[in-house]
Each structure stands twice: as C-alpha cells, then as structure tokens.
C-alpha cells in the first residue's frame, strides 16, 4: 500500500513512517524541517525510516516540502492510497504568531482535504489533540465533552478536525480524526516534561517542575499511537469519527518527576519554578470509543512507559541528550 505521512520526520510521524515501512508499505514522507526544535532529531527519524526500508520489504522516500504548498500536496495526495496527516505547528506554550498555527494547521489541512476530494483514497487520518478540550468540565474527557481550547494551537487543531468532519460528510471522504493525549517515548521532541526530567536526572540535576506539580496528565506511549494508526491503515471502521487516543490513566507532574527520579537518581530532591497559565490543569482520556470501534487498548502504564523510555535514553544518550539540552 502507498502511504503519505505528512510531518513524517517528526516524533509521531517518524514512528509511523518507520513502522509502516517495516510492515511492507511504500511510504512517502513530507516534512519541511521547521526549526521549532533541533532538526537533528528529525534527521534521526529519517534515518530510522531509511533503515527500516533497508531491512524489509517496504520503501521510504523523503520529500522536503510544506503542507502550505497546495500544488505539492495535491501531487502527493493524488499518488497515494492513505494519507496520515501529522504535519503541524506544535507548541501550546510557544510564543508564535497565532496566524502561523492557522496557516500550518488549518490551511495545511485544507490543502490535504481539497487534494483528497474526488479521489479514491482509502483513508485520511487527521492527527488532532487533547488541547481541543481546554478547561475540563468533567473527567475523563469523552468525545462529547465541550471543546473550548485555551491556546492558539488548540484552536487550530479543533478547526482542522472540524473541517475534516465536514469534508467527510459533504464529500464522502473516508476520514478519521484522532485526539492524542500527551505522547511520549523514544525520540520524543525536546522540551517535554519526561525528557527534561530524565535528562536532568542523568546529569545529577534535580528534576525541575513548572508550578506546584499538581497538574495531571494522561501520558500516552508512542507505540500505542502507532498501534491505532496501523489498525486504521487496514480497517474501514470509524469513517467520519473523532476519537480520543490516550492511556486511560493519569498522573500528576510531581508524581511523574518522582517516578523518573526514583528510577534514575533517588538521592535527588525535586525543585519547583514558575508555571504556565496556558497549561490545562488536568487531562484524562476516555478511550472507550476507540476501544469499541477499533479495538484499541493501551499497552503501557506510565511507570512501564517511563522505564522503557529511560532504558532507551541511556542507550541513545550520546546523540539524544545534546538535543534535549540545546547543546
């Protein structure tokens, strides 16, 4: 099967592209190598995809380009069977002009959707985010929870997924939108809590917590994201649906820091610094819908996932740590 992965040199997209290739698919990756974080990490993701192609039956091709380039997007979309749309301007806290979030996340998605109209594509998978929910009115979030994003990023992801559902309804496009909850794991992008905690502990520095550590998160191991996307590659289920993909569990940031610290350097204390008002107080996914429609079941508790990431970190510390620490 021919698969286009937009944002395929990024964290999630890179894992998807690598797995799809190992499954024997012919993968085209579209990525613009935006320097929002160190592009050397994206280069490692590309290397992983190419290594997968060298090892197996699938193929891997990198196209350096932008989802804002409608002509290029149309050329790639009309030459594939499935579009895994993961290109996005990320960053809830980032000091970025809101128009860039709109241009990349909304206009870029519209380019994908417009190119898909009138084709015989098997599926378009849209990567959305738990950020669409905003302030929790109840937990866990189910898909019926009000969507009131509190960041430009969240607003842009909500607009993109709503356009996707309109195209599914009006133009009969086979589209599924997945709302990811704080994804982590090997090759995760710098600036995330888990990678920061692990890096500091690896260097004998106490984990630094933004705020008082009482905020809670549903952290999702990247292999669970890969699993649900593999299911969608083969299944026709869930067209026109939006669903959560999370761990179904939750942990406070303070408890997360303690989990990392206890696994790596139990002699260290925790330290606290100023938090961010834009961060949601709590996230917690109901994954019942994804379970019913796709058979989705999370495979790692946060403790298991952290242990696996710590092991990977130690094996790859030489090249990965300088990226986390901005060296």
Domain boundaries, the chain: 2-181+222-246+286-299
Low-confidence stretches of the chain (pLDDT < 70) are: 93-94, 277-278
Q: What is the pLDDT of residue 278?
A: 67
| pLDDT tens sequence across 204-254 | 999 999 999 999 999 999 999 999 999 999 888 899 999 999 999 999 999
Q: In sequence order, which residues have a C-beta less than 8 Å from that of residue 276 and are 6 or more positions away?
A: 93, 210, 211
Q: What is the pLDDT of residue 280?
A: 77
Q: Which of 37, 141, 153, 163 is catalytic?
A: 153
153 as an active site residue: the answer is: yes
Q: What is the pLDDT of residue 162?
A: 98
Question: Are 211 and 272 contacting, i.e. CB atoms less than 8 angstroms apart?
Answer: yes
Q: What is the pLDDT of residue 128?
A: 98
* H or E element, residue 244: strand 241-245
The DSSP symbol for 148 reads B
- The CATH H-level (homologous superfamily) assignment of domain 2-181+222-246+286-299 is NAD(P)-binding Rossmann-like Domain (3.40.50.720)
d(CA 81, CA 124): 9
Q: What is the pLDDT of residue 304?
A: 95
């Amino acid at each position: 099967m021919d698969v286009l992965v937009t944002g395929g040199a990024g964290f999630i997209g890179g894992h998807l592209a690598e797995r799809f290739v190992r499954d024997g698919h012919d993968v085209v990756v579209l990525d613009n190598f935006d320097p929002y974080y160190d592009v050397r990490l994206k280069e490692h993701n590309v290397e992983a995809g190419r290594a997968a192609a060298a090892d197996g039956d699938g193929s891997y091709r990198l196209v350096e380009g932008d989802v804002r380039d409608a002509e290029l997007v149309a050329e790639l979309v009309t030459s594939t069977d499935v579009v895994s749309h993961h290109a996005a301007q990320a960053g809830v806290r980032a000091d970025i002009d809101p128009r860039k979030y709109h241009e990349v996340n909304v206009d870029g998605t519209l380019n994908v959707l417009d190119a898909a109209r009138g084709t015989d594509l098997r599926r378009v998978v849209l990567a959305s985010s738990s950020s669409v929910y905003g302030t929790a009115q109840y937990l866990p979030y189910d898909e019926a929870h009000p969507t009131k994003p509190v960041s430009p990023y969240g607003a842009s992801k909500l607009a993109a997924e709503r356009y996707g559902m309109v195209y599914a309804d009006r133009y009969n496009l086979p589209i599924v939108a997945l709302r990811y909850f704080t994804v982590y794991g090997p090759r995760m992008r710098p600036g995330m809590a888990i990678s920061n905690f692990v890096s500091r502990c690896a260097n004998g520095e106490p984990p630094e917590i933004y705020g008082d550590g009482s905020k809670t998160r549903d952290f999702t191991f990247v292999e669970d994201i890969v699993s649900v996307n593999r299911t969608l590659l083969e299944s026709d289920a869930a067209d026109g649906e939006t669903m959560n993909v999370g761990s179904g569990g939750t942990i406070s940031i303070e408890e997360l820091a303690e989990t990392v610290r206890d696994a790596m350097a139990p002699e260290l204390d925790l330290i606290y610094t100023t938090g961010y008002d834009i961060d949601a107080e709590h996230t917690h996914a109901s994954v019942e819908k994804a379970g019913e429609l796709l058979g989705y079941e999370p495979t790692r508790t946060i403790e298991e996932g952290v242990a696996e990431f710590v092991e990977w970190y130690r094996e790859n510390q030489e090249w990965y740590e300088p990226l986390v620490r901005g060296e």
